């Protein structure tokens, strides 16, 4: 541990940060309870948010996956760790991440080799309880989650904490070079990182992080639920009626008007529309209704096993109002339009469609997925469209992409799990 870390500037900032958390505690609790009205899990097991836990794994590997996307990227690595005989503790902030962990590892949770809990709030006492209760061997924080008290507590109690499947988006990196540079200072507080590319290594190193290992993108090793593909194949013809089909994945607030206008102007095409967040399902249904589109909700049209309960109605849009079934939705399409790219917050995961050999279309804001989107565009398997007009043109006359192109691209970038497993002992030894 560096004796000069944290700096005086960072110490002062942490004091202010802690005071702010104490002042805002009633607001945070109220927020969780209000969110709990739509999703009860938000308001459940509140004691865990303060570091109080009942069950305990002994010296697990700790994986922090804040929400659904991070949990999905962690899944293949967790399976590999379990295969090595480790026990795994997963922490989450949102119900989506926790539910995914509980769904994916239900058997392991029952067997006592996996445990899922809420991550503590940002209080020193909560992390002290957490770390003493579980005594994790080391922690892996998925992607680029920066939790100051988590970092400081792990340093204090000598729990090695690494970024995993990490990326440092260009906008975040540039912003951190300006002003006080506090987030950059916090990044340097990790014990190291397992990063997606050489470009990411350079950015992390530039802010003072050491012990960096290039391991690639874990999502390329994600398991594909074959039951979802089988179900999609069974009902695809009945739904699409032989029409070309597109699945819009992870659509976020601010994009709906653009996508719905595109659907209204496109004839002879079937669309699957999957909002990013479950709390948006009803709102999107109302938008589709108001636009006069022929649509049906997955929850009304399909049974629990993704089978058609009745003959398929004449619809142009299937609203994907469920979680954890993305591969089913992708199995219904010829191509995927990945959401998030038409708002400044940036696009989401393009790897899932490519895993099924589905060419991808993204909007202009790809800074969040620069890797592997830039490489996918160079390989010709991902098309960037700058505006609504270009999106319409790509839907009406898609750029030709072969299965061979996608297979070659995918194979060139797979293997992140094996590289990460090989790098972990080296990182711990430093």
Is the pLDDT reported for residue 297 higher than 60? Answer: yes
State how far the alpha carbon of 9 is from the alpha carbons of 6, 14, 204, 282, in Å.
Answer: 8, 9, 20, 46
Close Cβ partners of 381 (under 8 Å, ≥ 6 residues apart): 354, 359, 360, 401, 405, 406, 409
Q: Assess whether pLDDT exceeds 70 at residue 151.
A: yes
Instruction: Return the structure tokens found at 36.
Output: 């709990």
pLDDT at 84 over 90: yes
Give percent of the chain above pLDDT 70: 99
**Cβ-contact 342, 258 below 8 angstroms:** yes
Q: Given this model, what pLDDT does residue 37 score?
A: 87
409 CB-contact burial (10 Å; exposed 0-12 / middle 13-18 / buried 19+): buried
The pLDDT-based confidence of 419 (bands split at 50, 70, 90) is: very high
pLDDT in tens, 356-371: 999 999 999 999 999 9
User: In terms of C-beta density within 10 A (0-12 exposed, 13-18 middle, 19 or more buried), how is residue 105 classed?
Assistant: buried
pLDDT at residue 3 above 70? Answer: no
Average pLDDT score over residue span 216-230:
94
> What is the structure's pLDDT at 278?
87
| Of 92-106, 331-345, 374-388, minimum mean pLDDT range | 92-106
Average pLDDT of the chain is 94
Mean pLDDT for the stretch of residues 407-428: 96
Q: Of 48, 70, 143, 394, which one is the catalytic site residue?
A: 70
Residue 354 has pLDDT above 90, yes or no: yes
Q: What is the mean pLDDT of residues 317-324?
A: 94
Task: Report whether pLDDT(1) > 60.
Answer: no
Residue 184, pLDDT above cutoff 90 = no
Confidence label for 401 from pLDDT (cuts 50, 70 and 90) = very high
Give residue 306's pLDDT: 96
pLDDT bucket at 2, cuts 50 / 70 / 90:
low
In the predicted structure, residue 232 carries a pLDDT above the cut 80: yes
- Predicted local confidence at residue 309, as pLDDT: 80
The answer on pLDDT for 176 being more than 90 is: no
pLDDT over threshold 90, residue 317: yes
β-pair type (114-118, 88-92)? parallel
* pLDDT digits 0-9 by tens, 39-70: 889 889 999 999 999 888 989 999 999 988 89
> Quick one: which of 133, 139, 165 has its CA closest to 151?
139
- Stretch 331-352: mean pLDDT: 96
Is 70 among the catalytic positions? yes
306, 231 contact by CB (below 8 A): yes
Which is higher by pLDDT, 84 or 184? 84
* 7-43: b (≥16 Cβ within 10 Å) or e: eeebeebbeeebeebeeeeeeeeeebeebeeebebbe
Q: In the predicted model, is pLDDT for residue 181 greater than 70?
A: yes
């Amino acid at each position: 541990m560096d004796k000069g870390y944290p700096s005086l500037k960072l110490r002062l900032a942490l004091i202010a940060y802690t005071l702010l958390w104490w002042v805002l505690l009633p607001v945070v609790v109220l927020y969780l309870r209000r969110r709990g009205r739509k999703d009860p899990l938000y308001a459940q097991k509140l004691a865990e948010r303060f570091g109080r836990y009942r069950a305990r794994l002994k010296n697990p590997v700790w994986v922090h996956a804040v929400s659904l996307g991070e949990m999905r990227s962690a899944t293949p690595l967790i399976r590999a760790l379990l295969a090595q005989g480790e026990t795994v503790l997963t922490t989450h902030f949102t119900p989506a991440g926790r539910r995914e962990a509980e769904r994916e590892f239900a058997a392991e949770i029952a067997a006592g080799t996996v445990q899922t809990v809420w991550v503590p709030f940002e209080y020193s006492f909560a992390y002290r309880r957490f770390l003493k209760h579980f005594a994790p061997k080391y922690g892996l924080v998925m992607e680029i989650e920066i939790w100051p008290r988590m970092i400081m507590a792990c340093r204090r109690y000598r729990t090695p904490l690494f970024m995993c499947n990490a990326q440092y988006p260009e906008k975040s990196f540039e912003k951190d070079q300006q002003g006080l540079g506090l987030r950059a200072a916090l990044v340097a507080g990790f014990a190291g990182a397992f990063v997606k590319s050489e470009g990411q290594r350079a950015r992390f190193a530039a802010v003072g992080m050491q012990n960096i290992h290039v391991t690639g993108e874990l999502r390329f090793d994600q398991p594909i639920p074959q039951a979802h593909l089988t179900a999609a194949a069974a009902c695809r013809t009945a739904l699409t009626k032989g029409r070309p089909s597109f699945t819009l994945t992870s659509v976020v607030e601010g994009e709906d008007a653009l996508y719905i206008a595109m659907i209204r102007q496109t004839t002879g095409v079937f669309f699957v529309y999957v909002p990013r967040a479950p709390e948006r399902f009803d709102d999107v249904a109302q938008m589709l209704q108001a636009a006069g589109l022929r649509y049906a909700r997955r929850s009304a049209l399909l049974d629990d096993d993704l089978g058609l309960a009745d003959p398929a109605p004449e619809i142009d849009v299937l609203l994907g109002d469920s979680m954890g079934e993305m591969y089913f939705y992708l199995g219904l399409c010829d191509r995927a339009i990945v959401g998030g790219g038409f708002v400044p917050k940036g696009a989401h995961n393009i790897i899932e469609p490519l895993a099924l050999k589905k060419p991808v279309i993204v909007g202009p804001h790809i800074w969040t997925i620069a890797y592997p989107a830039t490489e996918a565009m160079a390989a010709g398997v991902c098309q960037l469209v700058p505006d609504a007009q270009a999106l319409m043109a790509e839907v009406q006359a898609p750029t030709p992409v072969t299965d061979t192109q996608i297979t070659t691209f995918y194979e060139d970038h797979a293997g992140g799990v094996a590289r990460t497993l090989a790098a972990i002992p080296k990182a711990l030894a430093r």
